Amino acid sequence: METIHTVYKGELRTQARHLRSDTLITTDAPPDNQGKGESFSPTDLMSASLGSCMLTIMGIAARTHGINMEGTKIRITKIMASGPRRVSEIQIEFDMPSITYSDKEKSILENAARTCPVALSLHPDLRQTIRFNYLSA
């Protein structure tokens, strides 16, 4: 079943429609690649997708194991390379809420993040640098 329809709008811009929800996402080429940078670039979306996938799978694990992770925030840095132009590294830093987590809970959450479907789908040459910051209660 089709999931997404995307249209090239011109001027290095696309618009993707999620068919089930009718949600729209616009992408724009970045200024360093002839674009206006007025929206997410496709590689920004890839990086955001990795972070959102990690949080979602962590949420499923948290729900399953009775772990509170509400309010977890992430910061994502995308690093580009050339020859060919590509994303060479995605750095994701997790800021966990001010809750005291056991070593077992940390292991469950971190394993869930690192084994999310997007993380496992990306090419192994793309470095995924993941850091977890736990703030004690």
Going along the chain from its start, the domains and CATH numbers come out as 4-33 (no CATH), 42-133 (3.30.300.20)
pLDDT of residue 70: 96
pLDDT of residue 17: 97
Q: What is the mean pLDDT of the chain?
A: 96
Residue 43 near residue 65, CB atoms below 8 Å: no
Instruction: Give the E-state strand segments of the chain in sequence order.
Output: 4-10, 13-18, 24-28, 73-81, 86-95, 127-133
Q: How confident is the model at residue 137 (pLDDT cuts 50, 70, 90)?
A: low
Percent of the chain at pLDDT above 90?
97
Amino acid in position 4: I
Q: What does the pLDDT look like over 22-81, one tens digit per residue? A: 999 999 999 999 999 999 999 999 999 999 999 999 999 999 999 999 999 999 999 999
